[in-house]
Structure 1
Amino acid sequence: MASAVECTDENVREYLLYRGFTSTLKHLDNEIKADKEKGFRVDKIIDQLQQFVQSFDLFGMKEYWRYLDRRLFCRLEDVYKSTVTKLRTSLYRYYVINTIQKGNVEKTQEFFQKQVQELQGQAEWRDWFILPFVPSPEQNPTFSVYFSRQWADTFLVSLHNFLSVLFQCMPQPVLLSFDADVQKMIALTDENEQLRQMLFTLQTENPEQRNSDQMVHHKLPLYVQNMDRLGDTELDLVSSQRSVSTVTTTSRNFLSAFLPQGRRAPGKPAPVSAGSSPSQAAMGRKDQSTNQSVKSKEAVQVKEGLPASGQISTSETGSSQQQQQQCSNQSTNQGTNHKPRNKRIQEHEKERKELFSKPPPQTPEKKVEVVETEPPPETCTDPPESSTSRTNGAGADGGGLSAEQPFIKLSQEEYGEHHSSIMHCRVDCSGRRVASLDVDGVVKVWSFNPIMQTKATIMSKSPLLSLEWATKPDRLLLLGSGVGTVRLYDTEAKKNLYEMNIDDTHPRILSLACSPSGSSFVCSAAAPNRSGNNESASRLPIPASGQLLLWDTKTVKQQLQFSLEPEPVAINCTAFNHNGNLLVTGAADGVIRLFDMQQYDSIMSWRAHDGEVYSVEFSYDENTVFSIGEDGKFIQWNIHRCGVKQSEQLLPQDATGPFVLSGYSGYKQVQVPRGRLFAFDSEGQHALTCSSSGGLIYRLTNRETALERVMALGGHKAPVVTVDWCSAVDCGTCLTASMDGKIKLSTLLAQKS
């Protein structure tokens, strides 16, 4: 941020000179010289504080800290106040220790005389008032640690890190974001130019060369170039063996996902030809020395970068003529060998038998136990996430072709307009707009196709706890507050249409679900908790009471109140089936309830989790229900047999919550799940869940283990708290929202099996 500020200052100076605003330029220079924030240079701020300490300027140090408090610290959330207080206490102690180390007893006594009114009631300063009277305080067990160089360095580093993170998280004006936008545009331009060059290279291939790429007969390995012509089945085996060994070491090509199927490496090796006799296989197993030589030749060819039969790279397409010339020269040189022809044929036949006697390599299926918080390196199926905000599928997580990954990650973009943790993030039915809500009650309505753009910003005086898109029309947004009201907001007209008073005794609107018919919506209202409206606080040991209400969207009136048995309880999550005839709910008492929306009655209910139910959804065929609860379990329930589990799996805490974000100086933020914790793709075969560094995609199985991890999206630096999966467009878009206010949009392309 400091570099962007300096660059912006220079640009402003240049503009003022260009316009002739010389007096304004003089005022700007004078204010920059007297800038107490030092151009957001953290090192200069630390140097200024150290200068006050070394010069025993207690008044200047206090005034400078008060300025930082008024300018920066007072705008932070309440959870940061304890961190600021600890840093101020450490700064005062750093000053006192310096006065003693320099032998200036008068300044030590002056500090306690001037600060006695402020510090005498604080427990952490209770033992420090005897410090001026201790003969050797550096040897006293109470104060010895503060005289060490390690403590001073730790304090300065902590203060430096806190200010650095604070400056990075501050909302920046448009001028400061200009430099970042320019760098992003430059990176995208370079990326597009590289892709354009690759596409031009592929399109300018001559027809003979393109045919030679598609027909593997012209791309034989060197050790079989002088053999007799192999059969098609045997040649496919050679190609598959070479491609399997090479595809794991070479870089994945982004454009290979869009090439015809004949130009890709085969996913499974072809079976051995029936023409290989048992005697030939036995001969191949007996001669181990020749087999080792063949393996060494293959390794040499891989190191030399020889192309596999099923892969296409830029170097291969750009220098194919040179490779053909080299192959022809090698054939000519080998043809002049003075060995007898029959002897060479016998040796080649021997190598051929040994080659086909080896069983085709089988690529082991990679599985990851989902109970682990961080998968071990050897089971990780994805490369690290790139640091840029938009990555190509060639180098991103899961971007390359593999047998385990059902999707190609084409790109990943970031929406960073929020400045606090996200609670909800939902895509509308048409897949055109996204609504996201943070813990500060700010709602952003934005689009991502064709470009990412904020359409509306909704500010609320009362805290907002839930949101839901209306189905008809899909431009309407339902917003549930913490004071017992639900607002119907028009995102195109940017105004409130209605504000409905739900219930004063149950003011917290925890969940909203709009019927697919668009004529009504379900509202879950709960009683206030002891901690007020702080949703980051821990839950009560006894579930709060609540109501489940049905409201008519057109008349804006309450239709009925559902019966919640055995007792009224807070409903955390709700979901309709495809036609709105069924409603499933998950409650704070761990019970899942299924309602018939034609009879407006409860069909069945069962205890699903030990603790609260955080998220619940219908399956693709709507014969089962999936749920995630406070006990960390992901369970599939059969709705035709009450309370019968079809599968169950234990998920890590970073997928189920409560979510924890740790920071400097012991800072810790805890957030209870509010948004959707999992979402399905368009075919209901894969599920997207939360994790500490991004979304995780699992394949749904019919086995006892419900999930099988297949892909990690990555890209986040803070825990992901809610997800959504939009399949309304051709390429599915996964949304993952985290506690630092960042939302990642990962565009996926399904690989056809």
Structure 2
Amino acid sequence: RGCSGALAAFDAERGEGRAFDRADRVAELIFGRHVPRLDAVGLSRTLGLLRDRYFSRLDASFAPATAELETSIARLFVVTAVKARRKDKIAELFEAEGERLVAAGGDNEWHRWFAVPYVKRPGSDPKFAPYFEDKWADAVVASARNFLSTTFAAAPEPAMLKFGAARRERNRLAERVAALERELAGMREQKRSLVSKSVSASASKRVDASRKEGKNAKNVSASSVASDESASAYELPPPPPASVPSRDAFRTNGLTFKRQDAFSFHAPGRPVTHARFAPNGALVASAGDDGAVRVWSVAERDDDDDDDSSGVDDVVIASLHVGERAVGALAWDVASASRKENGNGDFSAGGVLYVGTRDASIRAWDVGERAVVADAAGDESFPHCEDLRCSPCGRWIARSAATRDPWAMLESKTSGEKTSKPRRSPLGRVEVWDAVTFAQTSSLPLGPAAPCAHELAFNHNGKMLACACADGEIRLFDVNAGRLVAKWRAHPKGHAATSVAFSNDNERVFGVGTDGVVAEWSLRRLRGLLSTVDVRETCGVDTRTRLALDPSGRAVALTSAVANGAVAAPERMRNDENAFSGTNEEVDGTPTGGLPRRGGFSVSLPGSGAAARCVDWHPTKSAVLAGCVDGACMLTTLEMSS
């Protein structure tokens, strides 16, 4: 008899396990077996399995619905037990699920249900009468079936069922890549053949014409050579000459230009306003005045490959249209990149990109899914998004906003020409958002004047935020506490601080302003200016200059109003206590003095000479990305001597 009982219990448990592969079987197990038979232990075990296998894997937004479902099933069990006059079964259910029901529904909701066994006629009580009607029970059963079907459909597939899927997908993609490479090789060979035939045909025509005119063989030979050169120049035009310093000048300054590639993913003639490398450098996100945000991958060719057709393999991963002149800033979610790299997925498939628009909203765009997963609006009185940054820990999003665009082009009263010199700075605001709830949590105090923060920068752990402000000061904030830690005048009065960055060792701060000076300060001693370099000749003056820091901290890449960008390497100043005395200040200090210009060098990057509006440095390589006003993105590979 003991063996028979154990075998019966095993069969019952095996039947319950089989029922959990389909929603209709689970519903039949609950409403066809546990509730009619008043099996309180079996019902508690089934609800526990549902919570562990399915409900725990759902999004947090499903939590209220799952709690309401379990509460309704428990009420139906109690009503069925009252009708059968089995108070002992009600006690069993409350003993197994009572604490959880109280936690889900609250004391006010369940204290009267605990008294049901002591009520003489609960079906006649106005508080319980609706639950004793058949239509309520039918509604619970139908709702539970629909909810379980939705839950089972939304639950992720078990990992065991995905065995081999990733390997098969990789093999399929590898075969596809090999086929495309063979097709590309055939097209290149066909192109070479067509060019050769065209050159030969043109030369033959010239030779025949010369012979008819009675020219000698020497003239014919010269004509053939000239025709070859002419045809080749027509078919394969040489690149335009670059009005930049020679390679010898680069080497003299410890900087060697190796190669440059151009990418055109935006409307020709429309400026590329934002371009950022992904955290691991596999992808690039760019945006322009055409209103398109594009994410594309870059695979560098070998330096010895001179075939232009095999240059750079550029692939557009995803595109998002925001609206003409609507993109204010772009920022990659560093935390999502880390999850992609450490997980089973390949980050080259995409990550989360935050897009700040000029209508006070922030959009979270899942590049891999090609979908906007979140969209929220900030303070509508500060609609213009000047900059957007995500903390390295992935907890915070910082948005710099202004009442209007501070860099709007104005008509000069003297020359009648347009200039990018900012007019009177609009009011500014720095908002801190929670990256998980995607809601604004606080705003940082910029002071009574509320100057616009042109650029933001988080330090390595996301606890400190630096702001380059329109009043020429750099402000440091404690993000968690939401308070100002320190500030100092970074540029002379009348000039704005336009860009700021932390060094990777978290001991220095780099900045640049409209006065055309790049400076480096020590975080250990805020009054200690470490280095400066004058970049007015390579970047221009009274313009918005942005910088991107080399990961090694030896140089900075800069935007330029006269070239495709620039690279500057400040010369480290001596440890002179009076070198910058009076120009830095604590929170309650008063800024005085100006910014000295000393040492270092600055060189323009090669290219077409179109002005660079944005710049970024590759996170692991010596490569600079610049977005230009002609709609192209220029990727320049450099080599810096140690």
Tell me the TM-score normalized by structure 2.
0.50
Tell me the TM-score normalized by structure 1.
0.43
